[in-house]
Amino acid sequence: REQVYRALGRIAEEGFGMLGLPGELGGENDIPASILVFETLGFGDMSVLVKFGVQFGLFGGSILQLGTEHHHRTWLASVGRLELPGCYAMTEVDHGSNVRDLETEAHWDPEVEGFRIRTPHPGARKDWIGNAALHGRMATVFARLVVEGEDHGVHAFLVPIRDEEGRTMAGVEIEDCGAKVGLHGVDNGRLAFRDVTIPRGHLLDRFGQVTKDGRYESSISSPGRRFFTMLETLVTGRISIAAASVSAAKTGLAIAIRYSADRRQFGPSGKPEMPILGYLSQQRLLLPRLAATYGLHFAVRQLVERMGARSSHEDDPGIETLAAGLKVLASRNAQETLQACREACGGRGYLAENRLGTLRDDTDVFTTFEGANVVLLQLVARSLLSEYRDQMGELDLRGIIRLVSERAGAEVQRRNPIRSRRTGEEHLRDPETHREAFRFREQRLLSSVARRLKHRIDGEMDSFEALNECQDHVVSLGRAHMEAEVLDAFLAGAADAPDEDVRLVLESLAALWALERLEADRAWFLEAGWMEPPQSRALRGLVNRLCGELADQAVPLVDAFGIPDSVLRAPAAFGSGRPGRTREAGPGNGG
Amino acid sequence: REQVYRALGRIAEEGFGMLGLPGELGGENDIPASILVFETLGFGDMSVLVKFGVQFGLFGGSILQLGTEHHHRTWLASVGRLELPGCYAMTEVDHGSNVRDLETEAHWDPEVEGFRIRTPHPGARKDWIGNAALHGRMATVFARLVVEGEDHGVHAFLVPIRDEEGRTMAGVEIEDCGAKVGLHGVDNGRLAFRDVTIPRGHLLDRFGQVTKDGRYESSISSPGRRFFTMLETLVTGRISIAAASVSAAKTGLAIAIRYSADRRQFGPSGKPEMPILGYLSQQRLLLPRLAATYGLHFAVRQLVERMGARSSHEDDPGIETLAAGLKVLASRNAQETLQACREACGGRGYLAENRLGTLRDDTDVFTTFEGANVVLLQLVARSLLSEYRDQMGELDLRGIIRLVSERAGAEVQRRNPIRSRRTGEEHLRDPETHREAFRFREQRLLSSVARRLKHRIDGEMDSFEALNECQDHVVSLGRAHMEAEVLDAFLAGAADAPDEDVRLVLESLAALWALERLEADRAWFLEAGWMEPPQSRALRGLVNRLCGELADQAVPLVDAFGIPDSVLRAPAAFGSGRPGRTREAGPGNGG
């Protein structure tokens, strides 16, 4: 933990913590650059990455986005220089996903013109708070704002938790979360508050203020919408996690593919053994994941650019849905890819020096934090179920569903699936076929979910229960939408390739990804009548063929990630160590 | 490592290392009992489990099964009492899966009437050898037996590697494999031999002998078949790994399901939050895996009984295929189940104290060792492609395939898929429907693989290349066969239930498993015309409904595994720690 903290200090010294801050505070007002730093850190130690994210992204970001000028001037520069290490204290023991119902309280106290922060019971302790166990001196604490007995919903407050000598402040209780599955360099802790008093100016008051004389004011009248607006701080965090997940998957693939091109096992009788990347099963294990990782790379980069281009916080609200959805797809891809890479390297993959286990264990929690994946996919689906996200803030589904079910039905009828039933390779490889298939699935799922929800709600079922009965369907819709988004980004990325050869390879890779996704969901396409069995079988054959074609390009494709050898490190990526047969062994190669 | 070794000593003191040995050596001749000990150890520390397996299963087992009376009398009792700690040295740096081509050499030396064991190059070093880095004093070393320049193929030799004081023997080089992803208590090492001389009696000579005057003799004339016969030692090991995988999955499910029944999050407005096990997505994540784990439990138990019932080594050769296939299904199930359990517990699952990460990391390598899963599934498929395993030993496929493609074609034609197209729930829940579907798939895959291979081989393609082109198909066949076997065992297990209530629950569980497997592969069934889209959709609805029905039984079903609380340990399995709301917190519960 101390080593990781020192690394964070070095990164801050280089000025990387200041990138996202406004120019007048010495920053560069460049959040996209900050995300790219995060993406690059994702090739290295994940504990350093997470500490970076907590300090500059979550703690700094909450002050930047939920605070106003006073907060910015007072604290941001010292946060960016790591002079004020801090925490982002949202999650509680009893409330991880359902943060709207969290229970920490902030009572307005007119006597002191400030707030008393308190933890009403052990289940309301802040949990999993990065930087809390050791290094944090201040925390952005999310708590219910109570003024004269009236609960105005969750707001964010700056609460000092340690003094400059690192001693815990009076009234604050800090507990170490203890050993974790991974991220051993991150000091996660639990926080409890026994009537800790903070001044009025410590309320991050961009979306809700308390006047000196104790009146509550907000420009957003609905408490639900107000809270969802505050949660937007997580948008940058989710994009960052998506970016880091892509980096982790790239690292795993670089190790496993280079190993598989070198390692030989079995072969035709009387001939030398064959590199294991020549086996269809090994290609099937690695190449679709290589393709997915490229697709996610382009999708994340596009989203980061789109974020940089928007002029204000309220601009381009679609970013929020994309950030949630890409976080889901990228974290799941990292988890599955790293596991596949571990197995692809056999026993070599089980050696700690080859990093695959550590990478998997460190990134494992990416599927959980900054929003559990299954919850976020429902968020994506809900945003599709409504074009009006402020209405979604209220979770009132009835009216919206009626609207959508009518519109989506019409949309699906416009399409003619017969045209898609050809089995010829040219047709199956055509990006327009893929695009059409992905959008057809999204629209069809949207209309059928809407219909099923409407049916239940018309029958007076509670909307919560209705959603739960259709949960698998809702989750499928969220995933289908995100895959369609990734496909668009992938094709755009391929079209932007610097030269013709690269463009052709990227197009093959995009086709492999799209076809493998269609293959994985081919039962649905068969059920929906989008294709017939002959096409479905042709699809499988084509995925195999593309795997074979791309196997030759696999090493250049992972080398193109540009991970320096000294960062990649894993000996398995640098030959088997048998002299004369492969290129030079990497540092520390004992194999 | 020392702690684990002491634990192994305690287990040996209790006599558990002697269970599998013949009565005349003080054992009980009860290998099934020995596997049940292994299964039970699978609820605890996996390093202890693996050390137990290496010492008594692999090292002891190799002497028992590959040696003759002289070896048994000289060494077995001291192995069973852990007075002679040992290793099983098969895998080499360059040869893990393809062990038939391993390169360590054992030269007959007429001067000393013994063998010189040598490692010809670094790639031929023995790798991943458990007990080698620290505790082993002797190793069963697999090496090519060379007599007067003639290579008789791989045989097993007993080679002392350390003396009684633990000093490495002359000519032996031992290297520690170093830190691993898991199994930190197992001392894996690499071994190299520089002309280490051993006496003639150290050849484990049941299947091949060298006479005093240097003549090689064997009752098995084909070197290939001889080697495959020697590999049978791995059968017990594979069954044991399958059993331990089931135990690990049970532990994970007990933790995650008890947690999910207790943890509440979100809920209908104005009502208390709902236990997360009430959500369809959580049910979908856990209940099919609970069902799979029960199915594998019955399949492993049946196989262990069958093994106990056979009178000799050569009897009932089908056991070998089943052992390989169950090892694959059970290790994959453990890996996927433990990952699902980790995610099902959210952040709690990421705490080390809740064991899910450790269990996953420790059992991760189960998919690789004792035969990589993808290799073993091909072994299963090959055994189906031939009823004559001695022919398979030669890997000569041509004649066999011709035979099978004729027979299997006829088999499939006898079936009438129309009968299976009803969508009624009663029909879909009927175990006979499941059995028929599973066997239909197996037969159809068998005939189509045979046809595809025949087509290629008739066109003069090398059989190695032909198999690789059809590898995904071959692997699917292996899996389909094993799922059919597990279904039979599951239904038999349910039928044997001690009372009517238990039987009904187990039948529902078997139906859930079978239907979820059909659902996962429903594209194939649609392609094959076994079902039509309406039935496929009905299937999905029924899986959801069964998940909902069984959610109420989930806690009793994991409690029925009988894992004592003190062994289960994970605080997440013992309530959220919020006083008064749940049952008493377990030891060490900081949550």
The per-residue pLDDT for range A84-120, each reduced to its tens digit, is: 999 999 999 999 888 889 999 999 999 999 999 999 9
A537 contacts B464? CB cut-off 8 A: no
CATH 2.40.110.10 is right for the domain spanning B87-222? yes
Per residue in B403-432, is it b (16+ CB within 10 Å) or e — as a string? ebbeebbebbeeeebeebebbeeeebbebe
A590 contacts B178? CB cut-off 8 A: yes
pTM over 0.90: yes
- Candidates A335, A351, A374; nearest CB to B178: A351
A351 contacts B464? CB cut-off 8 A: no
Residue B127: list chain A partners with CB under 8 A: 347
**DSSP-derived pairing of the beta strands A196-199 and B86-89:** unpaired
CB B77 within 8 A of CB B65: no
Alpha-carbon distance of B254 to B573, in angstroms, equals 7
CA atoms within a 13 Å half-sphere pointing along the CA-CB vector of B38: 32
Alpha-carbon distance of B245 to A132, in angstroms, equals 37
Q: Which residues of chain B have pLDDT under 70?
A: 313, 387-423, 576-591
* pLDDT at site A392: 38
Could you identify the residue written with the tokens 């507990």?
A175
Mutate to test the interface with B, among A350, A358, A539 (most CBs of B within 10 A): A350
Determine the distance in angstroms separating the CA of A352 from the nearest CA of chain B, rounded to an integer.
4
Alpha-carbon distance of B160 to B140, in angstroms, equals 9
Strands (E), B49-124: 86-89, 105-109, 114-118
Quick one: which of B65, B92, B346 has its CA closest to A94?
A: B346
* pLDDT at site A579: 33
CB A186 within 8 A of CB A119: no
Q: What is the DSSP letter of B502?
A: H
Q: Is B84 helix (H, G, I), strand (E, B) or coil?
A: coil
B122 contacts A93? CB cut-off 8 A: no
Alpha-carbon distance of A159 to A176, in angstroms, equals 18
Determine the distance in angstroms separating the CA of B362 from the nearest CA of chain A, rounded to an integer.
10
Quick one: which of A193, A155, A151 has its CA closest to A172?
A: A193
Please return the burial class of B298, using the count of CB atoms within 10 Å of its CB with bins 0-12, 13-18 and 19+: buried
Number of A–B residue contacts, CB under 8 Å: 202
A182 contacts B357? CB cut-off 8 A: yes
CB A235 within 8 A of CB A319: yes
CATH 1.20.140.10 is right for the domain spanning B236-559? yes
Mutate to test the interface with A, among B259, B335, B380, B527 (most CBs of A within 10 A): B527
Q: Note whether B418 contacts A: Cβ–Cβ < 8 A.
A: no
Task: Enumerate the domain spans of chain A.
Answer: 2-85, 87-222, 236-559
Return all residues near B530 (Cβ < 8 A) that are at least 6 apart.
Answer: B417, B420, B437, B440, B441
Q: Which residues of chain A have pLDDT under 50?
A: 388-395, 414, 416-420, 577-591
Determine the distance in angstroms separating the CA of A162 from the nearest CA of chain B, rounded to an integer.
22
Q: What is the DSSP letter of A55?
A: I
Question: Candidates 1.10.540.10, 3.30.565.10, 2.40.420.20, 1.10.630.10; correct CATH number of A2-85?
Answer: 1.10.540.10
Q: Note whether B499 contacts A: Cβ–Cβ < 8 A.
A: no
- Candidates A281, A335, A361; nearest CB to B471: A281
- Candidates A268, A367, A522; nearest CB to B343: A367
